[in-house]
Amino acid sequence: MTRGLRLMGLLGIVALALTIAGGVKAGTATTEANMNSGTNLRHIGVILFAVLFGLVFLMHLFCWSNRERLMRYRRTLLAGISGALPFLAVRVAYTVLSAFAPATRSISPSGQSTLVTSSSPLVKFNSTQGSWVVYLCMSVLPEFLTVLVYLVVGTRIPLQQDTDYARGLQTDAWEDEETARLKPMSLGSEYTH
């Protein structure tokens, strides 16, 4: 399971790097070929983000199917994460639609950039020239609400009071961490003269 989570993290890093590289390349392009290359990188990156969201969703379903093995407060945390996933899904959907929205500029063979219009229904998802209402409702608000849910759930659940039902004990990982953090530092002989 840890290997799977690490691979998902790596997938997220690759998706982010491709999306950033594609956005920068398309934004600073002086030729149509460079702009198309940047757009292709961005498309690949957002598809990887969509795949990552699918994997997160499947992992979430796996955790729900094994919820009886989870400690009490971690089940509450899982329920809180369930509340954030729909908002995250809307945000990922906007990212994909925005990436595939038609370009709002074209570059002539002489290197001149000109604005272009499109009748595509995806034009309203364009992050620079699209509808601000769509941007607000599908990008800003879902992202804000996702973070808010994670913050509220993450700070309200006393995970340090969780009991490990498999062992019948309270988990001591938090106690060890607190002990190490609060333990006074002793000065060894290397600090005395």
Overall average pLDDT of the 139-153 stretch? 95
DSSP 116: -
How many domains is the chain partitioned into structurally?
1
Which of 77-81, 95-99, 139-143 is least confident? 77-81
Q: Is residue 33, in this structure, part of any structural domain at all?
A: yes
| CB of 49 closer than 8 Å to CB of 19 | yes
- Specify the 3-state DSSP secondary structure of 135: helix
- Indicate if the pLDDT at residue 81 is higher than 50: yes
Model pTM?
0.76
Q: Is residue 115 part of a domain?
A: yes
Question: Would you give the DSSP letter of residue 141?
Answer: H
Tell me which residue range forms the domain holding 82. 2-158
- For residue 189, tell me if it sits in a domain: no
Query: With 50 as the cut, is the pLDDT of residue 112 above it?
Result: yes
Q: What angle do CA 13, 47, 143 make, to 5 degrees?
A: 70
For residue 178, is it within any domain?
no
Q: What is the pLDDT of residue 177?
A: 46
